[in-house]
Structure 1
Amino acid sequence: MDRIILAPLWLTSNRWNARGPMSDKPHLFIILNPVAGHVQADTVHKIFIETFGCNGINYDVYETIGQENVTEIVRDALNRSYSMIVAVGGDGTVSEVANGLVKQDIPLGIVPLGTGNLVARELGIPLTVEEACQLLVGSHTHTLLDVMQIGQHAFVPHISLGIYSQVIDKTTIEEKRRFGMAAYFWRALQEISQQRSWKVTISVDNQKQQVYASLIIVANIGTIGIGALRWGSRIRPDDGEVDICIVQARTVGGYLSTFWHLLNGQPWRAPETLYLRAREEVVITADRPIPVRLDGENFEQLTVRIEVVPRAIKVITPLIHKEKKFMAITAMNPATGEPIKEYKEMTPAEVEDIISSVHVWDPGIC
C-alpha cells in the first residue's frame, strides 16, 4: 500500500481528516489508473479535492503502476473502514477492482476514464469525471451486476473469441478517423480473406453443440463500444445470464449480411448468427488455438471455461437508470410499425413477454 495518496488534511475538518473516525458520510478508497484516457492524473486529483475534500468527505487514493495485484489491494481495503471502493479508469480497471468485490456488500463506484467505458455507458453512469464523482456522493441507487469468471478472475463487459481481437487491434487511429465504421469492416474483410474460422464445441449449461465460428462474443453488456451499436437488444448486466453471439459466416456475402444487420441495430436477425443464453457456465473448445480478448489483453487458447456469477457486484448507478428499463422504451409491432404499449404501463413480466415476441426499439438503453 505504499502508493496511497491521502486527502489533504488542511481541506478537511478534524472529524474528517484522512485518518479520522468514521461517521455517516462515505469513506472512499479510490483506485486510480493514472494513464487511462485523456484526462491528466493531476486534473483528476483536483476534481477529487473539489468534490470530496472540500465537502469534508474522507478519501484515500491508490495510483496503479501496472504491475501490482489490484484484487489483493481491494481485498486489503475491505478489512479497513471504507464504505465504498471506487474504480477510476477504463473497463480493465473496473474489472480488476470488481474482481476483489465479488459477493461483497461494499458498493463499487465507477468514474470512467478509459476510451470505451462500456460498463459506465451501459449503466447510465456519467462519462465526465466531475459528474461521475458527484454521483458517488449524491443521490443514487445500486445495481447488482453479474460478472463472468475465468478461473479466479472476474470480467464485466464481454469476452471475445476469434477475429474480433485482430480487427480491433489492427485498425489504426488514422483509419478510424478517416473511414469511421468502414475501417473496422475493411480489417474484418482482411481477416476473412485468410479463412479464419474455427470448429468449436460449445457447452452452455451442460448442453453441447458443434459449430463453425469466426467470432464468438460472450456478452454481459450489450454495448459494443463502436457508436451506439449493440450485440443484442436483450443483453442486460443484471439479469443473471450472459448472452453468447456466434457469427458463423464463412463467405464475404455472409459477413456483409451480418455487418448490415449489425449496422441496422438487429444483429440477431442475421441468418449467419446464432444466439444462446447461459445461466451457469459456458465452455468453448476449439479445434486449434483461438484468439481470446479479455479487457484489452489478447492471448490464444484451446479451451475457455466461463462461469456466470449472478448479482455479484453492488454498483452505484443513477436513479434514472432503473426507470429507463421500463419507462423510456416503446415496443414496436414489426408488421405495422405502430407502438404497441409503453413500458411504463406494464409489469416487468409483461415487458419480458413483449421482448420475446417482437423487435424492441430501445432509445433509453441503445
Structure 2
Amino acid sequence: MPLDPTTICVIANPRSGRNSQDAQAIHAAMEVFGTATLRHWQDGEDMKDAVRRAVDDGFTTIVAAGGDGTVMGVANALVHGDANLAVLPLGTFNYYARGLQLPQDPRAAAQAILNGHPHRISVGAVNGTVFLNNASLGIYPAILKQRESVYERFGRRRIAAHWSVLKTFMRYRKPWRVTLSMNGRTQTVSTPLIFVARSAYQLERFGLPGAAEISDDDLVLFIAQAEGRLALLKTTWRLCTRKVALNRDVTLLHADSFTIDTRKSSLLAAYDGEKSRMPTPIRFEILRDALSIILPDAADRVDTP
C-alpha cells in the first residue's frame, strides 16, 4: 500500500532553493509527492531541530532532500525513533541512496518512496553520532579541513579539491600512533588512516572486501599500512584504480564495537563527509535496529554505477 503523502515531510537545505538544479529537482519530486509538505531549515538553525519539529507536527516519514551529509543529519535526528527516513538524492555521490538502489532521477525517486515500505536497520555511530556510509580518523579528516580553507580562498572547484588533497599529503610526516581496543584485546597501531565502513555499495565501488561483514551488522575497519609519504600516495592510487590489496596496503578487521585512544584529548573525525573534533577515547559501535528507513520495492529499484 503506497505511503500517504499527507504524512510525508520533505526537509531540504535552505541553499537548495537558490540552487536552480536542486530547486528544479525538488519541484519535480513535489509534483509526484502531491500533498506532501516541503520545509527548509533556516540558516543558522540546527537541522535536527527542524526534523524533530516535523516529527512533533505528526509527519511519520521524513524525506532528506540532499546528499550524504544531509541524509546523515536527518538520520541523527530520527535514530531510536519511530518516524521513517526516506532519501531524495541531490548530492554528488549519493552513496547511501545508490546502496538502496534508489533511482537518481527526482521523479522516479519520489515515486519509489511513495511505493516503498518501512524497514528497520542497524547503523554505525562514532561517539554517539550516527553515520551511514563511513567514518574515519587520520589523513582524510585532515583533507576535509584543508579543503574548507582552499574553498574559501579559491571557490568550490574540482581543481581546488584536488589541491587540498595534494597539500595535505605534502604536509604528511609520519603515521599517527593510536591504541585500538577490540574484542577484549588492545594493540598499538601506527597508521595515517583508520577508515570504518558501513556501506557495502561504497566498498564494492572501490573494489574493497567487507560486504559480507557489513551484512552481518559489523563495522568493517581498514587500517592503512603506509609508513611514508610515497607509500601513502601509492595506496591512494591503488584505491582509485581498485587495486588495494589486503595485508599489503591495508589491514581489515571487523567488530560491532571498538575504541581508538591516543595521548591527545581529542581527534578530528570525519563521518559521511562531515567532520568535528571529538574527545578521546573515540568509540565506534553498531546501534542495532535503531533507524526506520523507506526501502524501494523491487519494481522501483535500479542498478546504479
TM over 0.5: yes
Conserved in 1, the CA contact under 8 Å of 2:127 and 2:282? no
Residue 175 (str. 1) matches residue 159 (str. 2): yes
Q: Which of 210, 224, 239 is the equivalent residue of 2:216?
A: 239
Shift of residue 100, structure 1, vs aligned partner: 2.4
Q: Which amino acid aligns with 1:108?
A: L
Conserved in 1, the CA contact under 8 Å of 2:194 and 2:222? yes
Counterpart for residue 294 of structure 1? 271
Q: 1:60 to 1:141 in 2, by over 3 A?
A: closer
RMSD: 3.5
Shift of residue 32, structure 1, vs aligned partner: 0.9
Q: For the pair shown, which has the larger CA radius of gyration, 1 or 2? A: 1
Shift of residue 252, structure 1, vs aligned partner: 4.3
Query: Percentage identity across aligned positions?
Result: 26
Counterpart for residue 33 of structure 2? 52
Conserved in 2, the CA contact under 8 Å of 1:220 and 1:236? no
Paired with 2:212 and 2:165, the residues of 1 have a C-alpha distance of 23
Counterpart for residue 154 of structure 2? none
Q: Which amino acid aligns with 2:69?
A: G
Shift of residue 147, structure 1, vs aligned partner: 1.7
Structure 1 unaligned regions, length at least 5? 1-22, 325-363
Residue 166 (str. 1) matches residue 142 (str. 2): yes
Paired with 1:213 and 1:235, the residues of 2 have a C-alpha distance of 25
Counterpart for residue 351 of structure 1? none
Counterpart for residue 285 of structure 1? 261
Paired with 1:304 and 1:321, the residues of 2 have a C-alpha distance of 41
Q: Which amino acid aligns with 1:158?
A: N
SS of the residue 1:115 aligns to = coil
Conserved in 2, the CA contact under 8 Å of 1:143 and 1:238? no
Residue 120 (str. 1) matches residue 97 (str. 2): yes
SS of the residue 1:282 aligns to = strand
Counterpart for residue 83 of structure 2? 106
Conserved in 2, the CA contact under 8 Å of 1:235 and 1:243? no
* Alignment: residue pair count: 292
Counterpart for residue 25 of structure 1? 4
- Please list, as runs of the form range in 1=range in 2, the aligned pairs for 1:335-346 lying within 5 A after superposition: none
Q: 1:243 to 1:266 in 2, by over 3 A?
A: farther
Counterpart for residue 6 of structure 1? none
Write the deviation string for residues 252-301 of structure 1: whole angstroms up to 9, x where unpaired. 4533553354244353525141111121x221112445432234333444
Structure 2 unaligned regions, length at least 5? 151-156
Counterpart for residue 198 of structure 2? 220
Q: Which amino acid aligns with 1:219?
A: A
Counterpart for residue 83 of structure 1? 60
Q: Which of 183, 200, 208 is the equivalent residue of 2:186?
A: 208
Q: 1:247 to 1:300 in 2, by over 3 A?
A: same
Q: Which amino acid aligns with 1:190?
A: M
Structure (1 or 2) with the greater helix fraction = 2
SS of the residue 2:112 aligns to = helix
Paired with 2:125 and 2:3, the residues of 1 have a C-alpha distance of 34
Shift of residue 201, structure 1, vs aligned partner: 0.5
Write the deviation string for residues 187-211 of structure 1: whole angstroms up to 9, x where unpaired. 56424xx314211011224432111
Conserved in 1, the CA contact under 8 Å of 2:86 and 2:113? yes
Paired with 1:24 and 1:117, the residues of 2 have a C-alpha distance of 23
Q: 1:235 to 1:156 in 2, by over 3 A?
A: farther
Paired with 1:33 and 1:322, the residues of 2 have a C-alpha distance of 26
Shift of residue 106, structure 1, vs aligned partner: 3.0
Conserved in 2, the CA contact under 8 Å of 1:261 and 1:270? no
SS of the residue 1:190 aligns to = helix
Write the deviation string for residues 70-111 of structure 1: whole angstroms up to 9, x where unpaired. 334333433444331111112121112112222333321100
